[in-house]
Amino acid sequence: MTAGPTLALLRDDPQGWDADLTDDGVLHLQFANPPVNAIKTAMFRQLQAAVTSIRDDETVRAVVLTGEHPKVFSAGIDFKELVEGDEGVYGTAGDRRIFVRHALEAWYQAPVPTVVGVKGAAFGAGAVLPCLADLVVGGPGTVFTAAEIDRGIVGGSRFFARLVGEPLMRKMMLLGLSVDGEELHRVGALAEYVEDDAINATALELGHRLAEKHPLVMRMMKQAHTEVEYLPVMEGYAVEQKWSVIVPPEVRESLVPKKKG
């Protein structure tokens, strides 16, 4: 498959990411900011740019995010940037928090399905990325930590609640506790629970399975899911019906051919 603008963007100016595009359209993103894959503001901005680019890039059918570090998926927001102070007053053009929020919003609203394989520990924003993904793969060594309360930071509850549910989220956030892979699996947060050394391969396998689906229908379904997530049940169903109606008839017929005779 010919690489599209999204892969070119990430390769020309990686900013702490490593990227590759498989023949079937899986964009494989990997953290590339050693030693512990802390997420710099520039990385957030580049992630936003890449995900936004996918909207007009038909070469990408799914995104898989992994990390190669054996024990740390991501240490979260780069602590060096935090201790150096914010670039601007809250809510102004130079406010680092705006860049982070916009990047997370773009990731959550990605036009194609997203899969995250979490090998090792994920702290703060490093755990938020899987919380906002469509599918998460983990194992016995996977650990999510929300230690914001012990760092004087408020935020992240809605992200964690989306993955683990309200009660466990409050336990994590208010006590600053960690949740391991076994607990994440028990509460149904993981699409797949595998051995740690199989996490990345399993995440990529899911990406390939997603890429096999009809690309137009998949993009429409992904947008519908984002729209209806927090709507009342029947109101959400009405939105999904709207999307079903606008699926081109030729696409539906290619998937379910009409019987002759």
136 within 8 A of 190, measured Cβ to Cβ: yes
pTM across the whole model: 0.93
Q: What fold is seen in the domain 5-211?
A: 2-enoyl-CoA Hydratase; Chain A, domain 1 (3.90.226)
Q: Is the dihedral of CA 8, 9, 11, 12 positive or negative?
A: positive
* Size of the chain, expressed as the number of residues it contains: 261
**How do residues 22-66 score in pLDDT, each as one tens digit?**
999 999 999 999 999 999 999 999 999 999 999 999 999 999 999
Q: Which residues contact 185 (CB under 8 A, 6 or more apart)?
A: 138, 193
Q: Show me where the domains of the chain are located.
A: 5-211, 215-255
**How do residues 200-210 score in pLDDT, each as one tens digit?**
999 999 999 99
63 within 8 A of 98, measured Cβ to Cβ: no
First-to-final CA distance of the chain: 39
pLDDT above 60 (res 261): no
pLDDT above 90 (res 149): no
